[in-house]
């Protein structure tokens, strides 16, 4: 692979546009590409969704033209449907709460997109994530660090990167703040310099996961029972995919005290409610393990861990219990540890690794 050639994943947003600019300024022979992941018909949206729209493609093309670099559109819709949308639905139907952005990075940006770069003899891929790649000479391993802008750090959603992928990935925004990125876009006259960010899952733009799953599968979300920890029926729910661990509002019940969603059981289609204190746990197990800082955790290790994207890391001890599995014991009980989400481990600003919470 040609190490001075770089393929930039350009979403049409300001972050990937500035990443493209910085990569070209660093002397790389650049090309830009937008991934076509789905059509509106796939997700049941009329008009343009806020991601993968024609406007996004044209914004990315405009920036590429301004930078004087080639631009492509890669159709990865089959892969996205199989590896992201169908995984998302399967997880919800099993009672888990998935993070499709992690799967998109794992299976699309840093797998399919990376493979396309190799086919084109391009040595690096570039994204607009707020994180940093580094090489540790002592361990002879590539590593991943948090972005300098703590409010924008995206290292959590990149924990699944492999050594090969890290070795061929550039993250130019790792040392920048969002304000600096927008300033660079304005200075270069990018059409998307003031474009707002979407906070939604791209293929569920209105946030109604249950309605999306019903539309996509053509199957109704079957009602069932709300129960307490002892199995006593408290009322009826509208399909357990509509609820998340820790939820209190929107249950549609008249209760004598505040109760929260503590568990979702696909086997008998029940949603378990309990008091706030029942949401706390001191340990978890996780599978689909990926380690960045080492090949294997040979002994119980002190780390900081986070179980949600926006959570601050918490002190814990992690032990690898099998080739693909870890146990994490927190110093203090954590609220609403949710199956399907990721637990990501840190040593200071460096990502140790992570896995999917069971």
d(CA 13, CA 294): 34
Is 104 considered catalytic here?
yes
d(CA 233, CA 225): 6
d(CA 78, CA 84): 10
d(CA 316, CA 327): 10
Which residues fall within 8 angstroms of residue 322, CB to CB, at 6 or more apart? none
d(CA 214, CA 182): 38
d(CA 9, CA 71): 10
Q: Which of 51, 52, 101, 104 is catalytic?
A: 104
State how far Cα 314 lies from the chain centre: 20
Is 202 considered catalytic here?
yes
Q: Which of 30, 52, 101, 202 is catalytic?
A: 202
SS (H, E, C) the chain: CEEEEEEEECCCCHHHHHHHHHHHHCCCEEEEEEEECCCHHHHCCCCCCCCCCHHHHHHHHHHHHHHCCCEEEEECHHHHHHHHHHHHHHHHHCCCCCCHHHHHHHHHHHHHHHHHHHHCCEEEEECCCCEEEEEECCCCEEEEEECCCCCCCCHHHHCCCCHHHHHCEECCCCCCCHHHHHHHHHHCCCCCCCCCCCCCCCCCCCCCHHHHHHHHHCCCCCCEEEECCCCCEEEEECCHHHCCCCCCCCCCCCCCCCCEEEEEECCCCEEEEECHHHHEEEEEEEEEEEECCCCCCCCCEEEEEECCCCCCCEEEEEEEEECCEEEEEEEEEEECCCCCCEEEEEECCEEEEEEEEC
| Catalytically annotated residues | 104, 202
């Amino acid at each position: 692979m040609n190490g001075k050639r770089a393929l930039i994943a350009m979403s049409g947003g300001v972050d990937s546009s500035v990443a493209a600019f910085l990569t070209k300024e660093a002397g790389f022979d650049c090309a830009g590409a937008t991934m076509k992941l789905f059509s509106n018909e796939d997700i049941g949206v009329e008009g343009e969704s806020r991601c993968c729209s024609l406007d996004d493609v044209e914004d990315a093309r405009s920036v590429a033209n301004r930078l004087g670099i080639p631009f492509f559109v890669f159709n990865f819709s089959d892969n996205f449907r199989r590896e992201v949308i169908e995984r998302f639905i399967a997880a919800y139907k099993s009672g888990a709460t998935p993070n499709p952005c992690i799967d998109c990075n794992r299976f699309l940006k840093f797998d399919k997109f990376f493979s396309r770069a190799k086919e084109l003899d391009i040595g690096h891929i570039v994204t607009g994530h707020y994180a940093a790649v580094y090489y540790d000479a002592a361990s002879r391993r590539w590593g991943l660090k948090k972005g300098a802008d703590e409010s924008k750090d995206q290292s959590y959603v990149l924990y699944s990167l492999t050594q090969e992928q890290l070795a061929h990935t550039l993250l130019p925004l790792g040392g920048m703040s969002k304000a600096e990125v927008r300033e660079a876009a304005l200075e270069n006259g990018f059409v998307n310099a003031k474009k707002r960010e979407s906070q939604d899952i791209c293929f569920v733009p209105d946030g109604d996961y249950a309605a999306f799953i019903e539309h996509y599968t053509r199957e109704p979300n079957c009602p069932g029972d709300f129960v307490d920890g002892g199995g006593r029926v408290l009322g009826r729910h509208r399909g357990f995919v509509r609820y998340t661990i820790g939820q209190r509002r929107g249950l549609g019940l008249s209760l004598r005290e505040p109760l929260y969603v503590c568990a979702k059981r696909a086997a008998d289609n029940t949603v378990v409610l309990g008091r706030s204190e029942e949401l706390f746990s001191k340990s978890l197990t996780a599978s689909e393990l990926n380690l960045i800082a080492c090949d294997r955790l040979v002994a119980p290790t002190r780390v900081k861990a986070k179980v949600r994207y926006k959570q601050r890391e918490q002190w814990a001890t992690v032990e690898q219990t099998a080739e693909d599995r870890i146990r994490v014991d927190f110093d203090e009980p954590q609220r609403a540890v949710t199956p399907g989400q990721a637990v990501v481990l840190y040593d200071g600003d460096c990502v140790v690794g992570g896995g999917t919470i069971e």
